[in-house]
């Protein structure tokens, strides 16, 4: 009986991980998993001071100093729970380059092996 419970627990845990990955990856159609947050930039409001970009790019493979979001330099980088790049940009600097009703923001950078990468996400822009 105990072996059966352990087997059921393993199956449920595996299914939970797969569903969680599917839900997180469904947020964007970008091949690199580029997803900008917040999804709506409110030009007249402070939204916390930074714009965050989540990716499916392993942080360990990226030259952190090369990262930009539509020409805006990165403020900081970190790894998510999967070891993937999460980059933060100045909210004011990003808002300065967008206009209503929407903007496509492109994350660019260089891998440590010298290969360039680029991925985009579109956000709503509200005056």
Q: Which residues contact 20 (CB under 8 A, 6 or more apart)?
A: none
pLDDT digits (tens, 9 = 90+) for 72-88: 999 999 999 999 999 99
* SS3 of residue 20 by DSSP: helix
Rounded to a whole number of angstroms, the CA Rg of the chain reads 18
The whole-number pLDDT of residue 122 equals 98
Whole-angstrom CA distances from 36 to 4, 12, 108 are 43, 31, 13
The predicted model scores a pTM of 0.79
Q: 69 or 9: which carries more pLDDT confidence?
A: 69
Report residue 119's pLDDT band, with 50, 70 and 90 as the boundaries.
very high
The whole-number pLDDT of residue 118 equals 98
Distance (Å, rounded) from C-alpha 35 to C-alpha 86? 10
pLDDT exceeds 90 at position 113? yes
pLDDT exceeds 90 at position 15? no
Report residue 26's pLDDT band, with 50, 70 and 90 as the boundaries.
low
pLDDT exceeds 60 at position 6? no
Give the pair of three-digit tokens for residue 76: 């900081």
* SS3 of residue 68 by DSSP: strand
Helix ranges, 26-99 (H)? 91-95
Domains and CATH numbers, the chain: 30-126 (2.60.40)
* Backbone φ/ψ region at 11: left (φ over 0), alpha (ψ -120 to 50), beta: alpha
The whole-number pLDDT of residue 14 equals 43
* SS3 of residue 90 by DSSP: strand
């Amino acid at each position: 009986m105990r072996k059966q419970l352990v087997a059921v627990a393993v199956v449920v845990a595996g299914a939970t991980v797969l569903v969680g990955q599917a839900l997180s990856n469904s947020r964007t159609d970008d091949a690199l998993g580029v997803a900008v947050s917040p999804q709506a930039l409110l030009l007249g409001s402070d939204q916390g001071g930074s714009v965050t970009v989540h990716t499916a790019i392993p942080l360990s493979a990226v030259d952190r100093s090369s990262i930009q979001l539509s020409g805006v330099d990165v403020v900081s980088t970190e790894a998510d729970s999967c070891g993937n790049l999460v980059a933060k940009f100045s909210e004011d600097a990003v808002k300065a380059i967008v206009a209503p009703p929407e903007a496509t923001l492109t994350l660019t950078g260089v891998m440590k092996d010298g290969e360039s990468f680029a991925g985009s996400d579109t956000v709503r822009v509200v005056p």
